[in-house]
A and B are shown apart, each in its own frame.
Chain A
Amino acid sequence: MKLVKFTKKGIYCIPGKFYLDPWLPVDYAIISHGHADHARNGMTYYLCQTDSKAILKHRLGTDIRVESLNYNEPKMVNGVQVSFHPAGHVIGSAQIRLEYKGFVVVFTGDYKVKNDHLTIPFEPVKCHEFITESTFGLPIYNWLAEEQLRQQMHDWVFKNQSHNRTSVFLGYSLGKAQRIMKLMEGVDKMYVHSAIHNLNAAIESSGIALPQTELLTYDFKNDELQNKIVILPPGLLGSKLLKKIPNAATAICSGWMQIRGNRRWQAVDAGFAVSDHADWNGLLSAVKASEAEKVYVTHGSQATFSKYLNEIGIPSAEVKTEYGSEEDDKEVVTEKTAVS
């Protein structure tokens, strides 16, 4: 049965007449999560998970027409039963399950299988066809256990403090920033950039509790930040704001930091492989748990991962999409927006 097809505008559900995370304007868009390469402007109507609603409004405009569902709450759209299931990627992220005449397709959006104690953990969903991301679809990407990662990051902050340095983490406003906040909770006072602060406010408006942070204003006093923790969006690497922070030690938080070459490419003091995507074993376990007859592999290492799945006996094909194969979508936070 052909329930979905891959089109120029995005993943299209044929009987349901709607799109999943489309990249061109369509009438009806079902959105997996709030990152800019998945939730784009210009759709007439949006459907998303409850915790994503405020994020979508914050990013796409309060005037968008958007409806939301809780996890596991089904809705019929043109005879297709649609439901959202936890993807563990960022707050409000969901796998989208479609069922039509007993045939089930699951589109993962982005996901991670490890519990970060912040987002609702990933739940495997059985299906006939599984459409999975593959951002880190190489066996060199296997994340440290959350406890070990936390320890490494704490040790780094303590070492910085012993040299009277301020620890600056760079991480994307939606997802990574909250993740860093959670990992750093209780270590010391945290300051966040306004882009992160505003997103935090949107998330909290859905009734989700986040670790306590302060808004980093441009007129901070020099000794105010010493030995503290600052979280900035990655676009501010090399910015005036970052240079203004005295004695800053800077760390990039991204799954790509798993590789030495990547850590050393940027002139920073540390790189931590903190990722909101599934690692290699995570991807494999999700694919296996889906028990799908056919696996479509999208953004990332689609050629490699799908070739490997075929070799281990799971029929698979790669699909070209317009989702970012970077760990995080392109977020434009410049000096200008930094002041606002």
Chain B
Amino acid sequence: MKHFSELISAIEITNKTNSKIDALVDYMNVAPEKDKLWIITLFTGKRPSRPVKTALMRQWCLEITGYPEWLFLESYSSVGDLGETIALMLPDPTHKIEKTLSAWMEELVALRPQSDANKKAYVLNAWSGLEMQERLIFNKLIGGSFRIGVSKKTLVNALAKYSGIDANQLMHSIIGNWNINTISFDDLIKGEHINYDNSKPYPFCLAYALEKELPELGEPQDWQVEYKWDGIRGQIVKRNGEIFIWSRGEELVTSQFPELVSAMTTFKDDFVIDGEILALKDNAVLLFNDLQKRLNRKTISKKMLEEIPVGFYVYDILEWNGKDIRSKPMVYRRQILENLVTSDTLPHFIVISQVITFKNWHELDAIRNQAREFNSEGLMLKQKDSPYHTGRKKGDWWKWKVDPLTIDAVMIYAQKGSGRRSSKYTDYTFAVKKDEGLVTVAKAYSGLTDVEITEISRFVNKNAIEKFGPVRTVKPELVFEIAFEGIAFSNRHKSGVALRFPRILRWRRDKTVADIDTIEQVKLLITNPT
């Protein structure tokens, strides 16, 4: 595991993507075949199920060290990572174990069905045979994310650099269905398996936020403009009678949306379409807040299907009757899509994304600003002759969101982050005025610079009320402008409102707690109660 350990050390320290790619390539040059497959498995979220519960690992660590649980938790809140906390607390190794990454992984897979006593013997032997950094990696192999900033894209770019194979094809190969026990590394990266795979999705084409003035885009008639929706971006794959639904996280979510699957069976063509899964009721789009109630459930009850029905707004078509048409111009694909999705036999909740007609750029701004009224996030601008790109590419597709809503709120709790952010207080809870007191309205983690976070951490250290535990209550003194995409009434929140995508817009050093908003003012922002 020495090479793998060096790889992790090299990747975790740098925030430059190119350095990460170089480290991955260095690794692939020396790693055994099977280890390379495991790297792809681990970094694409295809890892096997956790063989040992974290609660057990924690318990064994306490048994070995003899420390009280509160001390463990105190340490954990300083480190921000359970596997690392355990690795740091354990005593020095007594012997040395050296195994390849795949040997470790195969043992861990075999460990899963075994008794807790066997698991304990195995884990304790590993802990006492590994140095700190290797011990940390071992704990991470059991479960949990490495949090070292290697995205699928970074991995694919490294594989491309290593093998000379086109990155798009590689992306396609590694996100499809494959089994580590039946495929060789070469076959995988050459994509030998994907022709037989009815499920394969394409990498999504993503848009950048509009960063120029509209007239700079050229002529309005060269652009197709649609509404931008706040649901789950999804790809529906229908091939040879089989139907698969992929989310943008390259996750298969087919079983979560049975109504979409049955709707797809009414089509006779094969295709891959791109669109948005949305909660739809009486032909109106509900807030993401509603859709969220249906997500990640093991079973979808009948009641749930009735209360929060979903629909699919279709944006684009990537494959039609077996032919990849992503390189054809947008207008061509749109024509095929319109022919496909206008059939009378289709259920009403399969909707083709509306193309907005407008005469000039000026008019478009007004249209954008009304978008929130029917729960749209803004507009999408797509060049009419653009192909369906792989990933994020600048120039052809732009997203142009409605301006966010904002409020002024005061920080009342702070918590240390995790991973890179574990050394500072980076996660904050904000409140607005309610009667004579304060009420929590949002948690936010992003929007500040490292310098500001360092300054706030110092404030928290000085002004915290608690000495123990992960959360610090701070004097309500620091005021921030919080931006968010939407707001809805909520019974689950003490404030009675739920904010969508809250983040810190800026630190208002010019304001005091006396200047913050009241909950009544916040509720006035709700235009469309559901």
Contact = CB atoms under 8 A, between A and B. Distances in A.
B420 interface: yes
Contacts of B13: 263-264, 268-271
B67 A265 contact: no
Contacts of B14: 269
B89 interface: yes
A244 to B, nearest CB: 20
Interface residues of B, number: 31
Contacts, number: 73
Contacts of B75: 138-140
B486 interface: no
A259 B78 contact: yes
Contact of A140 (B79, B417, B450): B79
Contacts of A304: 71, 74, 467-468
Nearest to A311: B68
A303 B71 CA distance: 11
B369 interface: no
Contacts of B418: 261
A275 to B, nearest CB: 14
Interface in B79-122: 79-81, 84-85, 88-89
A260 B78 contact: no
Contacts of B424: 265
Contacts of B450: 265
Contacts of B67: 139
Interface in A246-294: 256, 258-265, 267-271
Interface residues of A, number: 24
A261 B83 CA distance: 13
Given A138-B78, A139-B89, A259 B84 contact: yes
A261 B420 contact: yes
Contact of B80 (A139, A256, A261, A263): A261
Nearest to B419: A261
A239 B63 CA distance: 47
A265 B71 contact: no
Contacts of B468: 303-304
A262 B419 CA distance: 9
Contacts of A261: 79-81, 417-423
A150 B85 CA distance: 24
Contacts of A264: 12-13, 15, 419-420
Nearest to A271: B13
B423 A140 contact: no
Contact of B74 (A138, A256, A267): A138
A258 B422 CA distance: 12
B65 interface: yes
Interface in A122-142: 138-142
Interface of B: 12-15, 65, 67-68, 70-71, 74-75, 78-81, 84-85, 88-89, 136, 417-424, 450, 467-468
Interface of A: 138-142, 256, 258-265, 267-271, 303-304, 307-308, 311
11 contacts: A138-B74, A139-B67, A140-B75, A142-B88, A260-B420, A261-B80, A261-B419, A263-B12, A269-B14, A303-B467, A304-B71
Nearest 6 pairs between A and B by C-beta? Answer: A261-B422, A140-B88, A303-B467, A264-B420, A262-B423, A261-B423
